[in-house]
Amino acid sequence: MTTPQFERARSAEAKHARVTAILEAAARLAGERGVRAVTVTDIAAAVGMHKSAMLRYFETREEIFLRLAAGEWVQWSQDVRNRLGALDDGRPAGPETPIAIAGILADSLVARPLFCDLLAHTPLNLERGVSFAAVRSFKLIAIAEVGAVSAVLCGILNLTDEQGGNVVATAVSMAGALWQMAAPGTELRRFYQDSPELAHALVDVAPKLTDILAALMRGYGSK
């Protein structure tokens, strides 16, 4: 099958379609191989463009993935706020509430493998491989979504703004780290599974993250 060759986009609509195609290809490849393994050449080939032509739309490979990370932040925030909203019945929080919230946060993150993968790469290399303007654009989106989720948490658990922000920051940072340790779908994960002496290296992200977040929220509630 021949890869379609794109002509240069002239209209705003054509440019938008090209950007969308690039982002969708990068997301698909990252889902198959992991963010670390996807090159700008891979993405260009997937959309039928020469690498130099694709770089008219994005500064670098890192900017492509940083744009995807921004989109994942928005989608995750909306999803988890919907889930938390269903939990909030207006009654005072009970001792089981932090565990329920922790489970919602953990499950909503694990349900988004690309987001979990990007969360680790964002501070390590994505933000370091783009212009400050691109970093600013991403950070403003991420900060706004942290605030939105934090506000819902504060309403349910009567946390301070700082505490709510800390819960969200812990959730996403630990999800990113644990996802890399778990290495789902990789040869490394299969190696751990086939090596009994390395059983301790197998990480089950959702329950571990749930436990960490529940302990943090119970700690805030005891002060």
- Residue 156: both structure tokens together: 């349910």
Q: Which amino acid is at 90?
A: G
pLDDT by residue (tens digit) across 151-166? 999 999 989 999 999 9
Burial zone of 221 (CB within 10 Å; 0-12 exposed, 13-18 middle, 19+ buried): middle
pLDDT by residue (tens digit) across 78-113? 999 999 998 867 676 788 899 999 999 999 999 999
Which one is predicted more confidently, 171 or 88?
A: 171
- Residues in Cβ contact with 200 at an 8 Å cutoff, skipping those fewer than 6 apart: none
pLDDT of residue 3: 44
Fold (topology level) of 61-221: Tetracycline Repressor; domain 2 (1.10.357)
pLDDT by residue (tens digit) across 9-30? 567 888 899 999 999 999 999 9
> Is the predicted pLDDT of residue 4 greater than 50, yes or no?
no
d(CA 121, CA 5): 31
pLDDT by residue (tens digit) across 37-84? 999 999 999 999 999 999 899 999 999 999 999 999 999 999 999 999
First-to-final CA distance of the chain: 63
d(CA 187, CA 48): 29
| Domain spans, the chain | 1-58, 61-221
Residue range 1-58, CATH number: 1.10.10
Which one is predicted more confidently, 1 or 100?
A: 100
pLDDT of residue 11: 77
Answer whether 160's CB lies under 8 Å from 169's CB. no
